[in-house]
Structure 1
Amino acid sequence: MAERFELAKDYTISRVINGCWQLSEGHSLENSVDKNDVMNAFHMLVEKGFTTFDCADIYTGTEEFLGEFQEQLKHGSTISPNDIQIHTKYVPDIDILSSVDFQYTEKIIDRSLKRLNRDVLDLVQFHWWDYDVPGCMETAGYLHELKQKR
């Protein structure tokens, strides 16, 4: 079993986190990523105790891969979707940073929830492209407000 690390009270992650950036369309070493290969790799990783995954809303396709993986876990696996942790990133579009508002933030978080087949996100990392553009702290506040709302 892979070593675990307590990130917060009642929330542990594998000490090694499975990054999914390389599965993103346009970032893989191949022209296309074979979904069956990805699912097989995910199953192999969690069976060995590496249950924490990192993705992002802008890593095209990765949230969907993890969402499908969770569906597979519901059918015939000894591991439950509740046994894996998914960390994603919220990265507002660089071209609209100055106009990001609560509704936009909520829309992107809801999109991640839908892609990941989750009711709650385990952990959201927030990335702001340009700190010279105002709005970073307000947007961080929107994320906090969404957490409180749900």
Structure 2
Amino acid sequence: MEYRKIGNSDLELSVITFGAWAAGGWMWGGTERSGSIDAIRKSYDEGVTSIDTAPVYGQGDSEEIVAEALQGIARDKVQIITKYGMRWDLAKGTLAMKSKDNSGNDIDIYKYAGRESIIKECEDSLRRLKTDYIDLYQIHWPDVTTPIQETMETVAELIKQGKVRHAGVCNYTAEQVAEANKYVDIVSDQVPYSMVKRDIEKELVPYSLEAVKSIIAYSPLERGLLTGKMKPGYTFEEGDHRANIYFYNDENLKRTNEFLDKLRPLAAEKNATLSQLVLRWTIEQPAITIALAGARNAEQSVQNARAVDVKLNKEELSFITTLLNELHLVK
């Protein structure tokens, strides 16, 4: 495994970090708890020491699964990353979405990051995670109803109290990161980034390089699209959020798979899977420090971790990017 420093901090994360959204089941058509625990443990055996979760993933389920998976491992050997600012138990802020919990009950989820809410969320996360500190604490989505100053000064308090080690953000623009950084040292911005979603290259990447901020890329495999395993006609389980996203319509599956077919010879030459090639390309992009990779079972998590064994030279990276620039998906 490879490890990289986050921003200008002393926090080091494994370049492939375990993404525990699917582990919580919510929006993924349910979860198999023992499979998720096994996936986390096996990835740790491969050197994946960092795990990214959030309270809203399964409304606490994902954090509890992470805690169970890490039992017996010394706390200083792992880095726990979680989030705040999405409440399903409080109608405050702005409505993010209407959803259903893992039991099929209707829930409303709000983006809210007021001071009192963050303090409560932090305590709840510490309890569920069975730890006394969080390595990287991130606002999950921007909250337009609360001043960034109030939110970030609250996280700064939690850092002083020792409950949080470092502050990060998610889904923030470069401008929002710069504003947040006035009140607490922001070490990272977790944003969606993949071969087929590269819009952050315009503003966020240049800003991050200049300001020495890390980008943590989520959904680098575009939630399964870039694995080569999804073919036209693919059907999703009930409750799977991907069913209505344009990436996964038959035409885009066809176009994406044609692109991936052109990568297969290189993957074969490297003795790698397509997923591993995609992950390696991702962590080689400017300002992308970490790639989050989720897994529903141990086989997937081990395969993701071993993406670091794939080595790509400048010519090979350029070859992939050139092919990628010819891929056009239809919205």
Range class of TM-score, shorter chain: 0.7 to 0.9
Q: Tell me the SS of whatever aligns to 1:87.
A: strand
Given candidates 153, 159, 174, the residue that maps to 1:141 is 153
Runs (5+) with no aligned partner, structure 2: 95-111, 163-331
CA contact (8 A) 1:58 1:91 kept: no
CA contact (8 A) 1:97 1:135 kept: no
1:119 aligned partner: 132
Matched, 1:87 2:85: no
2:93 aligned partner: 97
Higher-Rg structure is 2
One-letter code aligned to 2:77: D
CA contact (8 A) 1:6 1:13 kept: yes
TM-score, normalised via structure 1 length: 0.80
Deviations 1:95-142 (A, max 9, x none): 4138864332211101001111110000011134442x2433212211
2:99 aligned partner: none
CA contact (8 A) 2:114 2:151 kept: yes
CA contact (8 A) 1:89 1:125 kept: yes
Q: Tell me the SS of whatever aligns to 1:56.
A: coil
Q: % of aligned pairs identical?
A: 26
Deviations 1:49-79 (A, max 9, x none): 11111111111211111111122xx2xxxx5
2:49 aligned partner: 51
CA contact (8 A) 2:80 2:136 kept: yes
Q: Tell me the SS of whatever aligns to 1:96.
A: coil
CA contact (8 A) 2:84 2:113 kept: no
One-letter code aligned to 2:157: E
Distance in 2 (CA, whole Å) between partners of 1:39 and 1:128 is: 27
Distance in 2 (CA, whole Å) between partners of 1:100 and 1:34 is: 31
Matches within 5 A, 1:2-41: 2-7=1-6, 9-29=9-29, 31=30, 33-41=31-39
Distance in 2 (CA, whole Å) between partners of 1:138 and 1:124 is: 15
Q: Tell me the SS of whatever aligns to 1:122.
A: strand
One-letter code aligned to 2:2: E
Q: Tell me the SS of whatever aligns to 1:17.
A: strand
CA RMSD in angstroms, aligned pairs only: 2.3
CA contact (8 A) 1:126 1:140 kept: no
1:64 aligned partner: 64
Distance 1:25 1:41, change over 3 A: closer
Distance 1:49 1:28, change over 3 A: same
Distance in 1 (CA, whole Å) between partners of 2:149 and 2:141 is: 10
TM-score, normalised via structure 2 length: 0.39
Please state how far the C-alpha of 1:91 moved relative to its aligned partner: 1.5
Distance 1:22 1:136, change over 3 A: same
